[in-house]
């Protein structure tokens, strides 16, 4: 018999994410996490293959981040960011300005990635309003995902399966194919030319479309999007909530294409997966549109916990680790190992593709039922959470070769079993 669940674990009062509560099983009770291992209440340990939704880039409980948060807790856990200032927040804003490409120098803090996107959309609309134009539409891309709040889901591809029940509440947006080919590029130019006077911005996930299926595009595609926005006078929003802070092999994915967006959204790994924090960082052109003698031109937004000192201390400590430790070299090593050890899956019936970008490895299946494979990973001592048609790994950058090999072996075994079943040949 399986061990009894802890007394505190029930579904009486907690509403779980992305779950049908009428049929959802109890989640696995976690009592600790260190490095790349999650400790369960029954004593089992799981190697985390997805770094808690891609946040824990340095692993769990890194001593440098823990010490920074503890020290900040002793001094100042929180104070409002309106009319008052604290050193961790202002230091972090200055460090992000140095880290990010071009003139992305003006950070607006919030608590989550979805809110960071909402803020970017509001900035783009008001940018044009402050210039005397009414532009409320956005152009986003097929298979893109930008968050669960109403504005963010409005620029999330409806065909991705997110929020179908809320279709009536979406603001009407335009969706285009990522312009990879000459035909797609010509069509993208046509769309921009026809609609540019009502479009506030184009929004893109640089190089990797995350929750929409872990789909990759190259630097040339991203550079083309930037150039097309310039030709038609449009703002470009880069949603780097998933890709930022090393995941694709650069500190930000835009750097691979030498692209400077007008607004960039950051979250997830910003604090090393320790505390909630997000930043929407604007370039000078956008920021200056809000500076005037008219108060009505000001950006009227202010999350209660924006710039939380504990979260900012964690983010500063995380940036310290990127400066002191060989994180990007570790990402390159992870990429090479993922490519070698996931490649055998390509020959399996029912496998559509195997692809790797930085510390992201993907095995794409010929079915949208990959989530059914989740229990098979737990029995192998790993935490992997397939979704849609993809089984993927996105581990902490600090993972050891042996632990990563355990993860890739689990993927090969589970996908092989699936391939040999009737579903794999369906």
Q: What is the mean pLDDT of residues 330-359?
A: 98
Neighbouring C-beta atoms of residue 16, cutoff 10 Å: 12
Q: Is the pLDDT of residue 62 over 90?
A: yes
Q: Is the pLDDT of residue 177 over 70?
A: yes
Domain ranges of the chain: 30-62+327-423, 76-324
Q: Is 113 annotated as a binding-site member?
A: yes
Say how far apart CA 362 and CA 114 lie, in whole Å: 24
pLDDT of residue 4: 77
Question: Which pLDDT tens digit goes with each residue over 94-106?
Answer: 999 999 999 999 9
Distance of CA 95 to the CA centre of its chain: 20
Question: Which pLDDT tens digit goes with each residue over 3-36?
Answer: 678 999 999 999 999 999 999 999 999 999 999 9
Q: Which of 60-69, 156-165, 167-176 has maximum average pLDDT? A: 60-69
Q: Is 230 annotated as a binding-site member?
A: no
Say how far apart CA 162 and CA 365 lie, in whole Å: 19
Say how far apart CA 151 and CA 254 lie, in whole Å: 23
With a pLDDT cut of 90, the percent of the chain lying above it is: 92
Q: Is 304 annotated as a binding-site member?
A: yes
Q: Is 114 annotated as a binding-site member?
A: yes
pLDDT of residue 102: 98
Beta bridge partners, 201, equal: 138, 235
The class that CATH gives domain 76-324 is: alpha beta
Q: Is 42 annotated as a binding-site member?
A: no
SS3 (DSSP) at 287: helix
Closest by CA to 107, choosing from 69, 145, 141, 81, is 81
The fold adopted by the segment(s) 30-62+327-423 is 3.90.1150
Q: What is the mean pLDDT of residues 182-206?
A: 96
Say how far apart CA 59 and CA 65 lie, in whole Å: 11
pLDDT of residue 170: 67
pLDDT of residue 424: 44
Burial class (CB within 10 angstroms; exposed 0-12, middle 13-18, buried 19+) of 336:
exposed
pLDDT band for position 329 (cuts 50, 70, 90): very high
Q: Is the pLDDT of residue 418 over 90?
A: yes
Q: Is the pLDDT of residue 175 over 50?
A: yes
pLDDT of residue 161: 63
Q: Is 421 annotated as a binding-site member?
A: no
Task: Provide the mean pLDDT of the chain.
Answer: 95
Q: Is 303 annotated as a binding-site member?
A: yes
Q: Report the catalytic residues.
A: 18, 145, 239, 268
pLDDT of residue 167: 65
Whether the CB-CB separation of 265 and 116 falls below 8 Å is answered with yes
Q: What is the mean pLDDT of residues 54-65?
A: 98
More confident residue, 158 or 20: 20
Task: Name the packing angle between helices 401-420 and 327-342 (round to 10°).
Answer: 30
Whether the CB-CB separation of 368 and 409 falls below 8 Å is answered with no
Q: What is the mean pLDDT of residues 109-114?
A: 98
Kindly report the length of the chain: 426
Q: Is 54 annotated as a binding-site member?
A: no
Cα angle 296, 297, 299; round to 5? 100
pLDDT of residue 158: 83
Q: Is 161 annotated as a binding-site member?
A: no
pLDDT of residue 173: 80
């Amino acid at each position: 018999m399986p061990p009894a669940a802890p007394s505190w674990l029930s579904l009486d009062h907690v509403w779980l994410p992305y779950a049908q509560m009428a049929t959802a099983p109890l989640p696995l009770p976690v009592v600790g996490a260190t490095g790349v291992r999650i400790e369960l209440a029954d004593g089992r340990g799981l190697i985390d293959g997805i770094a808690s939704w891609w946040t824990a880039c340095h692993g769990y409980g890194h001593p440098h981040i823990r010490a920074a948060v503890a020290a900040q807790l002793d001094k100042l856990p929180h104070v409002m960011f309106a009319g008052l200032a604290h050193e961790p927040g202002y230091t972090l804003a200055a460090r992000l300005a140095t880290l990010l490409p071009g003139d992305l120098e003006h950070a607006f803090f919030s608590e989550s990635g979805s809110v960071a996107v909402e803020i970017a959309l509001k900035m783009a609309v008001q940018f044009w309003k402050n210039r005397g134009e009414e532009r409320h539409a956005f152009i986003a891309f097929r298979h893109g995902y930008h968050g669960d709040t109403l504005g963010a889901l409005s620029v999330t591809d409806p065909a991705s399966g997110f929020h179908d029940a809320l279709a009536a509440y979406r603001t009407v947006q335009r969706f285009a194919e990522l312009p990879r080919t000459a035909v797609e590029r010509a069509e993208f130019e046509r769309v921009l030319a026809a609609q540019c006077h009502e479009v506030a911005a184009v929004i893109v996930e640089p190089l990797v479309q995350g929750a929409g299926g872990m789909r990759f595009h190259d630097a040339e595609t991203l550079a083309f999007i930037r150039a097309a926005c310039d030709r038609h006078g449009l703002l470009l929003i880069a949603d780097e909530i998933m890709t930022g802070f090393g995941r694709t092999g650069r500190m930000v994915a835009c750097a691979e294409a030498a692209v400077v967006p007008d607004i960039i959204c950051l979250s997830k790994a910003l604090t090393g997966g320790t505390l909630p924090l997000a930043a929407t960082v604007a370039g000078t052109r956008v920021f200056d549109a809000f500076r005037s003698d008219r108060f009505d031109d000001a950006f009227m937004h202010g999350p209660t916990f924006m710039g939380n000192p504990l979260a900012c201390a964690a983010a500063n400590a995380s940036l310290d680790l990127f400066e002191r430790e060989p994180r990007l070299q570790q990402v390159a090593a992870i990429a090479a190992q993922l490519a070698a050890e996931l490649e055998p899956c390509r020959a399996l019936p029912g496998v559509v593709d195997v692809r790797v970008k930085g510390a992201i490895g993907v095995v794409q299946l010929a079915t949208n039922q990959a989530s059914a494979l989740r229990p098979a990973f737990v029995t192998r001592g790993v935490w992997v959470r397939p979704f849609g048609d993809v089984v993927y790994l996105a581990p902490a950058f600090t993972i050891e070769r042996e632990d990563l090999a355990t993860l890739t072996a689990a993927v090969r075994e589970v996908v092989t079993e699936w391939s040999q079943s009737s579903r794999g040949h369906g």
